[in-house]
Structure 1
Amino acid sequence: MIAIKLTNHKNFMNALLRTEVFDHFLLQEATIAAAATYHIDGRMSREYYTQEEIDELGIAGYPCLPYGMLRNTCFDLIKGKKTPSAFNFVLMLSPDNLAKTLASLGSAFTIHDIGALFINLRFADGIMMLTTGVSYKTFQLDKSLDGQWDRLIQKFLDKHEIAFEIL
């Protein structure tokens, strides 16, 4: 796990709220403190969708909805003349992207070993932070995946020209 300070707030917020940069992540939860505090539970309400809709949307087997499906809602809660006092987004890889990521890293871990690969985006007291995280399904002595995930997120930020510094 690493802590990364996001140094260009405007650029980052544009990437988060107005582009598809983060759309392939799943939104586990979001909390936005503005005129009121809004909490979005990203877990999919299976009773809301028919199985046909789930299949058409390509979200079968997802524990949470893709951020791209909720991005406009988040944008509507944040936009305006005043900056929110705080927010927190917890994003994770979809099961498909988790499997692809583990394979691309040449990891000995499988999707059966890993609960999720996370990024946490937090804004408070004028500071914007991103922290990485790995959730293991069972206790692991091997923490090599943590470092690989940290490096992959740094490459992701570089690729999307999101300015940052590692703390």
Structure 2
Amino acid sequence: MLDITITETRDFVKKLLMDNTFDRFLAMEAFVKSGITYSFDGRVNKDFYDKEELELMASTSYASWESIKPHVYNVIRGKKLPLSFKIVLVLSQPDIMDMLEKNHLTIPVSDVANLTLNVYYDGMSIQLTSMATQNIFTMDKTLEHVWDAEIRDFLKTAGIYFTES
């Protein structure tokens, strides 16, 4: 599990909420605490969509960050900064499969529950944590280490500056 502090908050928030930097992720949930608390549940309500719409989605479990992002942005923008926000992003199944293959991991994709990136702003700084959860019990931490390395590489490639705790 990574514990990262973002060193350039303004640039990171721009990349998170305005640019397409994080659009490959799915949105599990988001909370914004300002004058009131806003809560976004990223779970897809499958009954809302017809068959064709569901087939076009990257995931039928969670909405894309790209589709949720404008709503979160509208809540966060304004004259005052929010007191805090938390955004939980997950990697899609196709991206998990690509990562496993790229890193020559023999873990079945069905054994991977989630690869998560948590973004937390406490009113002062932004912290990122990563988590790799599996559907089976294992003492093997290879998936966790690979996911942490993927996050580091992603942030560096995106030009996001950070320090690790």
Smaller-chain TM-score bracket: over 0.9
| Moved >6 Å (runs of 4+) | none
Q: For residue 58 of structure 1, report the CA deviation from its aligned partner.
A: 2.9
Q: For residue 141 of structure 1, report the CA deviation from its aligned partner.
A: 1.2
Q: Normalized against structure 1, the TM-score is what?
A: 0.95
Identify the residue that residue 23 of structure 2 maps to in structure 1.
Answer: 23
What SS is found at the alignment partner of 1:131?
Answer: strand
Of 103, 108, 118, which residue of structure 2 is paired with 1:110? 108
Identify the residue that residue 75 of structure 1 maps to in structure 2.
Answer: 73
Aligned runs of 1:57-76 on 2, under 5 Å?
Answer: 57-59=56-58, 61-76=59-74
CA distance in 1, matches of 2:63, 2:93: 12
What SS is found at the alignment partner of 1:162?
Answer: coil
Deviations, residues 113-140 of structure 1 (Å, cap 9, x unaligned): 1101100000114121000000110111
> Could you list the runs of 5+ residues in structure 1 that have no partner in the other structure?
none
Of 147, 150, 155, which residue of structure 2 is paired with 1:149? 147
CA RMSD of aligned residues (A): 1.0
Q: For residue 62 of structure 1, report the CA deviation from its aligned partner.
A: 2.9
Output the amino acid matched with 1:40. F
CA distance in 1, matches of 2:41, 2:149: 28
Give the conservation status (yes or no) of the 8 Å contact 1:62–1:94. no
Q: Normalized against structure 2, the TM-score is what?
A: 0.96
- Give the aligned length: 165
> Could you list the runs of 5+ residues in structure 2 that have no partner in the other structure?
none
Q: For residue 92 of structure 1, report the CA deviation from its aligned partner.
A: 0.4
Percent of aligned positions that are identical: 29
Identify the residue that residue 86 of structure 2 maps to in structure 1.
Answer: 88
Give the conservation status (yes or no) of the 8 Å contact 2:29–2:41. yes
Deviations, residues 69-116 of structure 1 (Å, cap 9, x unaligned): 111001101011111100000100111111111111111212111101
Do residues 133 (structure 1) and 131 (structure 2) align?
yes
